[in-house]
């Protein structure tokens, strides 16, 4: 029970602040100039990645152990694409956006189906 209270993903308010607002900002920024889009997307992905890693450490939420590094890697790809280091052509932003959405779904759903909500598994009686 104590672990569930520590889980930011288990609370809709914290989930909205840690994932919903940055995701909405990314969606809105998709219609903006590529430079501004890159700034907003990289900031949002860094925010979500950091929040996921902190939540994984806080409560052991399985998907956060995977989505945290994924969001940080996607932020690096956004910067690399925007700066021309990794040219992705005319569809680069579409690829990055779709990849972020697909990766989130697969990592969130898949990791918790394989390993459960907590990873590594916590046994009853384990202390923090």
pLDDT in tens, 25-46: 999 999 999 999 999 999 999 9
Write down the pTM of the prediction: 0.82
Q: Note the pLDDT tens digit of each residue in 4-32.
A: 557 666 667 766 667 788 999 999 999 99
Bridge partner residues of 61 (DSSP): 118
Separation of alpha carbons 44 and 23, rounded Å? 7
Give DSSP secondary structure letters for 63-97.
HHHHHHHHHHHHHHHHHHHHTTSS---TTHHHHHH
Question: Which tokens belong to 78?
Answer: 């956004």
- Segment 86-112 shows an average pLDDT of 93
List, in order, residues 6 or more apart from 36 with CB less than 8 Å away: 29
């Amino acid at each position: 029970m104590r672990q569930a209270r520590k889980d930011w993903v288990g609370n809709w308010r914290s989930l909205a602040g840690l994932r919903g607002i940055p995701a909405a900002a990314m969606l809105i920024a998709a219609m903006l100039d590529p430079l501004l889009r890159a700034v907003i997307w990289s900031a949002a992905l860094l925010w979500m990645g950091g929040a996921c890693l902190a939540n994984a450490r806080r409560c052991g939420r399985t998907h956060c152990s995977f989505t945290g590094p994924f969001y940080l890697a996607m932020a690096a790809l956004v910067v690399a694409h925007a700066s021309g280091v990794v040219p992705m052509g005319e569809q680069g932003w579409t690829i990055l956006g779709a990849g972020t959405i697909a990766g989130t779904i697969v990592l969130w759903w898949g990791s918790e189906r394989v390993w459960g909500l907590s990873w590594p598994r916590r046994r009853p009686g384990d202390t923090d």
